[in-house]
Every structure is written in structure tokens, then in C-alpha cells.
Structure 1
Amino acid sequence: MSKSMSPVDIRPEQVAAEVAALGEKLARGTKLFQDVRDEDVAIATTPKDEIWRQDKVTLHHYRPVTDTKVRTPVLIVYGLIGRYTMADLQEDRSLVRNLLNQGVDLYVVDWGNPSRADRWVTIDDYVDGYLAECVQVIAERHGVERVNLLGICEGGVFTTCYAALYPETVESMVLTITPIDFHADTVDNRLGHGFINLWTRSLAPEDIDRLIEAHGTLPGDFMGSIFSMMTPMRTMLKYNLDLLEVVDDEKKLLNFLRMEKWIADRPHHPGEAAKQWLKDLYQDNKLVRNELELGGRKVDLGNITCPVLNVFAKDDHIIPPATSRALGDKVGTSDYTELPLPGGHVGVFVGGKSQGLLGPGIANWLLDHQTD
């Protein structure tokens, strides 16, 4: 027989006090919401100047805030599925500001907002075209032959391909949360990790073709829903439990809203590039096998001869660590370093613990690998 449950001691005065406290909290939160202005939740506010534009792609140079210590300029390359603004989400949690404070001469490429008109733009165009042009512009501007590349997520795949195809133009390469072996999620096989890998492999290639043909793009809102499905309970609860927790704290509330602003700003992914991303990489895993072909040339990871720093998040459920670490056995350089950090896919950039690790870790590594 089961043991009888003890009665719950409910004190009316305690309930009344908690209800009153909640009411006061909501009243303060309502007042904060009413006072919030657009400029209060602005993201990517670090001053920068546009120095080059082609089609929808722009190249920006961040204004220095201290003496330059890393002499060779660094180009940040984000992916197409998200926006580079994640690297500069808020003033006190910004990879961009951290690097600038460390004396890094910093650039960023903004891919813009692709539409159905960009249906036939490929990864070849991004790597052999736009990215190559950005590197050339920066090199000519500084009178150097090589630049440093800092790739993030899908942008890390672009920089990896570029470094393999144009090794003579890359001084060093830093990758963060970048997939290389798109099937390595099966190595760790952690519950809740690698959902996108599993989902993409479950699709029939003709279904991907039909999706792209219908929209001309991989719609940003569609991919947003896929990311939400990866953590369904968190997605459902964040607007009541998470928001309720911070609603009366101005700093935490504004940070919550900045994150939501970034999540909502998810651009469409050009159609042909999306097909390559989903089929050639996620399904057929061509990159790690040196079978990916761009511009008529095979991307051979063994051609990457520059020093490489590979940063990954130890609890990344979107890009499991094993998918990133696979690069170490494939590059053609012995100067390969890994930097594992606490946190998840986004937390590695905006988490409190990572602020003293990610930016300084990258800057110090770049300083150690400067050429005379």
C-alpha cells in the first residue's frame, strides 16, 4: 500500500503576500515596458564604417578604440542563417567590443537580406566571389598580402573553404562553433544534441528541391521554427516564466528584448546556396571528405597551412563539439589549437562566463601567431 500523503499547509496570509508581491512585480514591469524605446534595445551599436559594397553584401571596418596590437587585420565572417549582430549584441557582452579593446583591427562582412531574386546565388559565389573580394579590399587597404579570418558557424564553413582554396592569402584562421564533419553528431549521440543534423538527414533530396522551388529561398521564419523545435519547452515557457523572472529588472529585461530582436531578424537563405548547405554538407558530408566542389575546384582541407584556432562550445546542441573538432585531423598544418568554452551555441558569445574567455582567448592567440 502506498503511504498516505501529508496535507499541504497552505497559509492564506502567505498566499496573499505572494500574490501582492507578484502584482507589484508586474506593475513595475508594465511601467518598464511602457518606457522602453527602440534605441534602448538597439543591437550591433559598435561604431563602424562601410568601406565596400557589392550587390547586397557590405564590408564594414570597426573604428579602433585603442592602439592596434594585432597588426594583421581580422575579418569576421558570419553565416547566412543568422545575422552577424550576434557578435555585437550588447555593450557589455560583445565579442566585437572585446576584440577591439584587445587592440584587434576588425572588419565584418554583412551578407544583407537575400530574397527570391537571389535564388541562384551559390556558396561558390559567397566564397570565390564576395569573400574573396572582401579579403582583397582589406589587403589592399593595409598594404598586406594576407589577412586573418574569424568564421562563425556557417561563416566558419565559408572561411574554411576559402582558406583551403586561397591559402596564400590567409595569415591565420579562427573558427567558432563551426561544423566540419556534419555526421559526427553520431559520435557523442547526446540526447537533445544534433537535432538539425538528424532532421536534415531525414529529408528526401527532392523534398529539399521542392522547398526551394516553392520559395526561391530557405525562408528565415521556417528555419526559425526549426530552431524553436530543438528546445520546445524552453520556447514555450520563455515568454511567461523567463520573462516573468526579469520583467522588473531593467538591465535584464533589455537584454532579453535584444536577444528576441536578434532571433526575429533571421534572413532568408539563397536557394541554391541552401541546397548545397543541406544536401552537399548536412546530408552528403562532403566537406570533411574533401569532396565538396566550389568554382570547379575540390575543397581539400589539407591545403589549409595557416595556424588554426578552433573554438567550440562544450554544451552546443546545434553544432555538437565532435562536428567541429573533426577539423584537427584534416588540416595541413601542425599549428592547430582547440579552445573549448562553457555554454551553448549562443551562450558562448553572450554568456557571462565566456566574456573573459572568448575575446581575450582569440586576441592572445592572434598575438602569439603574428609574423614579423
Structure 2
Amino acid sequence: MCQADRKASLEESTDRLMRASLARLTFGLSPAAVILTYVDWLTSVAMSPGKQATLTRKALDKQIRLAIWASQSALDAKAAPCIEPLPQDRRFRDPAWRRFPYNLIYQSFLLQQQWWCNATTGLAGLSPHHEQALEFGARQLLDMVSPANFPLTNPRVLDKTLATGGANLIKGTEQFLDDWQRQLLGQGPAGAEQFVPGQAVAVTPGKVIYRNDLIELIQYAPSTDQVHPEPVLIVPAWIMKYYILDLSPDNSLVRYLVGKGHTVFMISWRNPSGEDRDLGLDDYRRLGIVDSLTVIEAVCPGVPVHGVGYCLGGTLLAITGASLARDGDHRLASMTLFAAQTDFSEAGELMLFIDDKQLSFLEDTMWAQGVLDTKQMAGAFQLLRSNDLIWSRLVNEYLLGEHRPLIDLMAWNADATRMPYRMHSEYLRQLFLDNDLAEGRFKVAGRPVTVSDIRVPIFAVGTEWDHVAPWRSTYKIHLLADTHELTFLLTSGGHNVGIVCPPIDTRCHYRMATVTEGDAYVDPETWLFRTPEHAGSWWPAWQGWLAAHSGAAQTPPSMGSTDYPALDDAPGRYVLMD
């Protein structure tokens, strides 16, 4: 490297370190992106006198509505409120909010919230991305100052404080200090020690039959005398540990499949460190899915594999399936995608964190660390559901002193993993920002791949309240796939709870419909209207689909093979690594 190049490299490194240091103070948000968004909004408002007049009129209307309602409610305590919370807003459902003056407080807050929604949307000339970011930012600020978050304006907190003589606040303070201490020491939440993989969760019997620098491949022991010949390979997301699909025995999808006569293999990803900064998406494809297919072929020779991918794992499985189809490799019998996107043009509110400036800022942070830290990822996901994951927890645990016992899914959610710098940058830029896979630009081995090359049957699952992979985004597989059979299932719940839906959970419901070659495209809203709802878990419906696409039952295969003998008992070593 010549002296000029070394100087330029040094200057670039200095700039990146400065931006990475700044990112720690701004919680990963790019100041430039925030300023540009605000200036765009402010300029649009300044150049829209009609919008200004509308906002002024709406503000006066809301004040008059509140005044009229206040006088009505003073005469009739059962008077209907002048504004109702949104269906998903549970903050003001308690009857205590109907008492004076709390009824005026929460009604005034909801009217202000509505006004700010009007102020940040519907502006001519404001870019859609900036409009969505402004609306999201305004909502976050309003959620922060909600009257539900403060003891003196929350009647539930005041009532409990009077009833317990302040014991709730003492208990809440103790819980806050314990959580703070655990955060500083890098410990899991209270109760997480009861859900150690291999002891209370991830206990389905099996063996690790293959290990490389990135994965362990687990083969689960059969529990039936006969099994379907086609094995099932599950590719979980590497953003979290694999055992969300093998939680407690009653909550385990793996145990359920094994009990129905399927030979199940699971990829367990290693938690990367800063030394793995240069691992890319193609490394995850090769060392993860392709290596696993090679091992499974040795254990179950001559039969194709049912590929199952969850979230990022589903996206990677689609990429791998497309590359295999392109190259004439027929090792997949079918493909199932759990809450996995292949088209990112409508990827939900996560897109608010993704533009060129924000990604450059995030890349500098990852460049300095070598990885995206678990706390940084958790913070972004919590903001998407701040009412449920931040503020309701603050109120319930620290003000009301009501500690919710940890369950297996919550313990798993706290057991996060890191993301290598190169892989995460490629994922965000090529898939999220540029949508290369959907538009035919994503390359594997130097050549583009396309989902339309996949010819095996596809089963796609979306969840109704998914904040990570919105179901209308996962539904776009209909526009990309060119297979002879595509089944789409929409289940109740969110990104995690919707997938972990065992048959014992009677609260679940789902809709399912199949399209075959030659059927006309149906848009998601029409599909939702036309498709009947079924009560119960969707697992049996999917398992029935798997069985229908599998051969006649036969003797289970051996655990491992001559070339790939058992190395360890499940759950293996990688899932236990911090």
C-alpha cells in the first residue's frame, strides 16, 4: 500500500471510530438522518399554509370537544368518551380511568396523540420514508410522556399505593435495582437460571452429529417405530438461539414433529464474536445449510429433505433453495418459511431504521465492534412495541410492584446472540435496503438467483401481529414463487408467540389456503376476507401437509453415520456459549 493509500485509510478509520463513538451516545440513531427528517417535515409544514390552517382548526375542535365532553361527564359519569383508544392500546382499559380527573387526563392525552398523528402525516412533498419516521418518532415521544407512566396521573398506581401503604413502590424499587444490577453485570433477567438449555428447555433427546466453525447439526432421536423417509431440516434465525423451536416439552415444535414420525435435524448457530467480523451471508449459506444437507444425505441417503426456515433462517433457506434449483440440485423436497420475508419492499417499521445514512452509521458501529451487540438489537425491537415491552413493564413492575414470573419463551428472548459485521451489513443493504432477492440481483457464487426458480411445494406462515416480518410482507411470496403449489397460513399472535403455538393452546386460530399453477393472484386483503378462520393450533395442519408430501413410513435411520458419528448429546455446546 502506497503512502497516500495508507493516509486515506487512516483518515477513514478515524472518521469511522468517531461515528462509532457517537453512536453509543445516540443509541445507534444517525443524527444526520434524524436532522434531515425533521428539516424535511419542518420545510413541508412551512410551505403548506392550508395544512397549518387545518392543524389549527383541528386543535381548536379538539379543545371544544374535550370541554363539551367534560361538562357532560360531570353530569353523567357514564357519558361515552369523546375519543376511544386504538384497539391495541391497553393503557386506559381499567375502570379507574373513568374517574375524575383521570378521565380528563387520558382523554386530553388521546386527543393530543391524534393531533400529532395529523401533524406528521398527509404533507405534500414529504417523502414517505420521512413521514413514517416522523409519525413513529412522535408516537415514541408521546408514549414516553403518557399519563399511564407516572404515579400521580395513573389512578391504578395511586389506588394500589393507598391500599398497600406504599409497599408496591418499595417492591418496585427493589425490582428496579435488581434489574439494574443484572444489566450492569451482564446477567439474564431474574428467573432465567431456571431455563438452562439441556435442563428445562431444549431437552428433546438427540445427538450433535456435525460441527464446524459456525454450526452444530443436531439429529433428534426417533420416538416412533416408523418414520417418514424424508427428513426435516430446521434453519432457525441466528439472531437468537435455536431452542425457541424446542422450548419446554409441552411447547416444543421439535418434540411434536418427532412424535408424529418425522426425522428432525436442527442447525444450532455459534454465537459470533468480534473475531468473526468477516463472516458473510454466503458463509452462513455454505457452512450452515449446504453443509447440513451434505451431512443429512449421508444419514438419509437417496431422499430429499423438507427444508424449514424461521425468520432470517427462512430468508437464507429461500436463497439456498433458489441457488440449488438454479444449479439443478434436487435435495429439497419442500420448503416451509416461518415468518420469513423474501420481498422487503413492505418490511414494516423496521424499515424506519434503514436508509443510506442510518446504515452507514450502523456499519461504523459494527465495524468498530466487529459485531452488532445484543443490546443494540434488543433496543430496536423493543421500540417497535414500546407500549408492551418498555412502558407497560415500567408501570407493572416498578410502579405497581407486580412482577410477572419468567416463562420459557421470555427466558429464550433474553438469550440473544450477536451479528457479524459483514453478514449484517450485507443483509441490511442487499435484502432490506436494495431488495436484491425480490428483484433478481442477489448473487450466489457470482450469479443471480431468483425465488421463481424454486419448483418444490412451498408452505409459508405469517403471523397477524408480527412487528418483525409483517404478514402482508411474507404474503408477497405469492408474487415471487413460480412453484406448482403454494400454501399460505396466517396464524394469530406475533413473530414468536404465533410460531410457538402448540396444540394445547386453545387461544390460537389460523387461516390457510393453497394456490396451484394457473390460479389467479389474490391480494392479501381479499385473501383475508375469503379464507375461513379455524380455531386451535396451526401445527397439526402443517404437519398434515408435511405428511402428505412425504413417503410411506419406514424404519428410522441411524443416529449419525460412519462419516458423521455422534459428537455430543443435544443441545450441544454452541447453544451454551455466551
Shorter-chain TM-score category?
Answer: 0.7 to 0.9
Structure 1 residues 334-343 or 354-363, which shifts more? 354-363
1:245–1:65 distance in 2 versus 1, CA, 3 Å: farther
How far apart are residue 69 of structure 1 and its match? 3.9
1:342 aligns with 2:522: no
Unaligned runs of at least 5 residues, structure 2: 1-66, 78-98, 101-154, 176-189, 510-535, 553-578
- Map 1:295-314; keep pairs closer than 5 Å: 295-314=445-464
Aligned mates of 2:219, 2:206 — CA distance in 1: 5
Distance 1:254 1:218, change over 3 A: closer
CA contact (8 A) 2:230 2:303 kept: no
Secondary structure of the residue aligned to 1:131 is: helix
Greater mean deviation of Cα atoms: 298-307 or 150-159: 298-307
Tell me, in whole angstroms, the C-alpha distance in 1 between the residues paired with 2:203 and 2:215: 19
Aligned 8 A contact 1:165 1:299 in 2: yes
Q: Which residue, out of 199, 219, 232, partners 2:373? A: 219
CA contact (8 A) 1:88 1:96 kept: yes
Q: TM-score, normalised by structure 1?
A: 0.83
Partner of 1:201: 355
Tell whether the 8 Å contact from 1:288 to 1:327 is kept in structure 2 after alignment. no
Q: Per the alignment, do residues 203 and 100 of structure 1 end up closer, same or farther by CA in structure 2, a change over 3 Å counting?
A: farther
Structure 1 pair 47/39, CA: closer, same or farther in 2 (3 Å)? farther
**1:211 positional shift:** 2.2
1:359 CA drift (Å) = 2.4
In the other structure, the counterpart of 2:405 is 253
Distance 1:46 1:245, change over 3 A: farther
User: Distance in 2 between the 1:234 and 1:16 partners?
Assistant: 23
Partners of 1:206 and 1:81 in 2: CA distance: 20
SS state at 1:151 partner: strand
Whether 1:51 and 2:209 are equivalent positions in the alignment is yes
Cα distance in 1 for residues equivalent to 2:425 and 2:445: 16
- For the pair 1:329 / 2:485, whether they are aligned, the reply is no
- Matched residue, 1:137: 295
Which of residues 61, 71, 74 is equivalent to 2:232?
74
Q: Are the aligned partners of 2:195 and 2:411 in contact in 1 as well (CA < 8 Å)?
A: no
1:95 corresponds, among 226, 243, 253, to 253
Q: Equivalent of 1:180, from 331, 339, 342? A: 342
More strand by share: 1
2:539 paired with 1:369:
no
Shift, 1:254, TM fit: 4.5
Structure scoring higher RCO (CA < 8 A, sep ≥ 6) equals: 1
CA distance in 2, matches of 1:15, 1:207: 45
Between stretches 100-109 and 357-366, larger displacement belongs to 357-366
Give the Å deviation of 1:122: 0.8
C-alpha contact (below 8 Å) 2:306/2:334 kept by paired residues: yes
Give, as a single letter, the amino acid of the residue that structure 2 aligns with 1:238. R
- Deviation of 1:124 after TM superposition, in Å, equals 0.7
Equivalent residue, structure 1, for 2:538: 358
Residue 260 of structure 1, CA deviation? 3.2
User: How many residues get paired?
Assistant: 348
Q: Give the secondary-structure state (helix, strand or coil) at the position aligned to 1:104.
A: coil
Whether the 8 Å contact between 1:40 and 1:254 is mirrored in structure 2 is: no
Q: In the superposition, relative to structure 1, how do residues 56 and 40 fare at CA in structure 2: closer, same or farther (>3 Å)?
A: closer
Can you list the C-alpha shifts for 1:160-190, whole angstroms capped at 9, x where unaligned?
01111113111111111001111124xxxxx
Aligned partner of 1:264: which letter?
A: A
Check conservation: 2:192, 2:406, Cα contact below 8 A: no
Distance in 2 between the 1:279 and 1:77 partners?
22
User: Structure 1 residues 37-46 or 343-352, which shifts more?
Assistant: 37-46
State the match for 2:396 in structure 1.
241
The amino acid across from 1:360 in the alignment is P
Distance 2:195 2:160 in 1: 36
Out of 309, 330, 335, the residue aligned to residue 151 of structure 1 is 309
| 2:334 alignment partner, SS class | strand
Are the aligned partners of 1:183 and 1:285 in contact in 2 as well (CA < 8 Å)?
Answer: yes
Q: Deviations over 1:62-120 (max 9, x none)?
A: 12222444320001101121221111222222222222222221110011111111111
Q: Which moved more, 1:235-244 or 1:154-163?
A: 235-244
Query: CA offset at residue 203 of structure 1?
Result: 4.1
Given the alignment of the two structures, is residue 282 of structure 1 paired with residue 432 of structure 2, yes or no? yes
Contact persistence 1:121–1:273 (CA under 8 A): yes
Q: 2:268 aligns with which of 91, 103, 110?
A: 110
Structure 1 residue 199: Cα displacement: 1.5
Partner of 1:191: none
SS at match of 1:89: coil
Give, in angstroms, the shift of residue 259 of structure 1.
2.9
Q: Structure 1 residues 361 and 15, CA, compared in 2 at 3 Å: closer, same or farther?
A: closer
RMSD: 3.2
Structure 2 contact 192–411 (Cα < 8 Å) conserved: no
For residue 193 of structure 2, what is the amino acid of its counterpart? D
Structure 1 residues 103, 272: CA separation in 2 closer, same or farther (over 3 Å shift)? Answer: same
Is residue 95–residue 358 contact of structure 1 (8 Å, CA) maintained in 2? no
Contact 2:228 2:551 in 1 (8 A): no
**How far apart in 1 are the matches of 2:384 and 2:426?**
22
1:83 aligns with 2:245: no
Shift of 1:56: 3.4
Larger Rg: 2
1:362 CA drift (Å): 2.1
Q: Percent identity?
A: 26
Tell me whether 1:164 sits opposite 2:322 in the alignment. Answer: yes
